[in-house]
Structure 1
Amino acid sequence: MLRRLFALLGVLFLCAGPAAAQVAPSSTEVQAYEGLHKAAWRGDIASLNSLLKAGADIKARDAQGRTPLHVATYARHSDVIRALAKAGADLNAMENDRYDAVTIASVANDPATLATLLWLGASASQVTSRYDGTALIAAAHLGHDEVVRQLITAGAPLDHVNNLHWTAVIESIVLGDGGARHQRTLALLVNAGANLQLTDREGNTPLQLATRRDYGAMVAMLKTAGAR
């Protein structure tokens, strides 16, 4: 009984993990921002362009390792992102917790900003976060189905296994609620050809995991797709 309780507590902790690990600029940090970081957060494109023209350091980082591009992504300023990219910003840079702009936009369920980043050439394939995951795994965990659709189209690795030994398919089940958003997420992964036989660390397949949670729609979907 205790063993089952500890296992449940562990899963509950992990449910909050990937999303909670991402740290947006605090109000204190924002108030202290200067230069490009300040302009990026405010969406002040005129000041941003003026600073860039004057030679401001596009690689500057705040205390959390966020570049102006990370800040603009958190603030959902696509015009600022485009200006920074044009000036040579690294679209794939990671901050201190190993989040890139693509993963930040994916966790935030921000398809518009994500579309801008991907169109500019940001990678959907990077290994990110303390979980050695990907933007796709994070989005699948949260049931952000439109984001999942974009990432799949952009070539995100379907079968990457993070250090919890979970894939995007597995996370859509074990960290989802079995509802419509996670069902759509799983359907996108299945239709894209994700491997449905990869198991978790204990050897459980996605079908077994969905069956144990009584996620009937997911079970039916997986069986139709040939999962075992």
Structure 2
Amino acid sequence: MARRRGLAGLEQVLTELTTDDVSDEPDAALLRAAAAGDADAVALALRAGADIEARDEHRRTALLLAATYDHVAVAQVLVAMGADPDALDDRHDTPWLVTGVTGSVAMLEALLPARPDLTIVNRYGGVSVIPASERGHVDYVRRVVSTGIDVDHVNDLGWTALLEAVILGDGGADHQEIVRILLAAGADPTIPDGDGVTVLQHAEERGFEEIARLLRP
């Protein structure tokens, strides 16, 4: 697979290194290497027979560990070898969902070739753009809205990405830019929260004047 995909470095690891250095059980070695960010050790563990979908005590796969700790090179190896970007752990996180929390555009790009399911939701019922908007991950939001993700998805709290950016944001430059990006991507500012309060009303109540200006018709 590495040869067919033109991944010369990975091919070299898989063909030239020996598995004698894999002193641990291969699945455990794979998970440890993924968490540590050691792409060569990941490839070596796979060559030694590790299950690419092996789970740790929290049901995290190697790819989920790589995404959690933002080890992009490890993720690239695992994606090239067919790792599942939609594997759920015991907190209902997937490798893809984690990128919305970390805000890593590089990891997002590493996972896209695996065609992650953008509709899988986290434990709050949200897609990745929602926590990214809350946390002020401007570059991530700018990139993820171009993937076809539903910018109007409503989570279990009754909040869209726009609502979360205002309700849980600080009203500063980053959250202002996220509101601009979401609106430009077609987000509907008239969708209210579960109590019927609109994002404009929330912005006005919180004194976020620039955001309120952006939201007014």
Would you say same fold, with TM above 0.5?
yes
Partner of 2:134: 141
Partner of 2:209: 216
Q: Which of 57, 61, 70 does residue 63 from structure 1 map onto? A: 57
Q: Is the 8 A contact 1:132 1:162 kept in 2?
A: yes
Q: How far has the Cα of 1:105 moved from its partner?
A: 2.1
Q: Which of 72, 75, 96 does residue 90 from structure 2 map onto? A: 96
| TM superposition score normalised by structure 2 | 0.83
Q: Which of 175, 181, 189 does residue 188 from structure 1 map onto? A: 181
Aligned length: 191
Partner of 1:17: none
Sequence identity percentage: 36
CA-based RMSD: 1.5
Instruction: Note the residue ranges of structure 1 that are not aligned, 5 or more in a row.
Output: 1-32
Q: Which of 194, 200, 215 does residue 207 from structure 1 map onto? A: 200
Instruction: Note the residue ranges of structure 2 that are not aligned, 5 or more in a row.
Output: 1-26
Q: How far has the Cα of 1:102 moved from its partner?
A: 2.0
How big is each residue's C-alpha offset from its partner over 1:175-227, in whole Å with a ceiling of 9 and x where there is no partner?
A: 1111001001111000111111100111111111111111100111011xx2x
Aligned counterparts of 1:89 and 1:119: Cα–Cα separation in 2: 11
| TM superposition score normalised by structure 1 | 0.79
Q: How far has the Cα of 1:45 moved from its partner?
A: 2.3
Q: How far has the Cα of 1:46 moved from its partner?
A: 2.4
Q: Is the 8 A contact 1:126 1:134 kept in 2?
A: yes
Q: How does 1:23-172 map to 2 (within 5 A)?
A: 34-123=28-117, 125-172=118-165
Instruction: Please state whether the residue corresponding to 2:76 is helix, strand or coil.
Output: helix
Q: Is the 8 A contact 2:79 2:110 kept in 1?
A: no
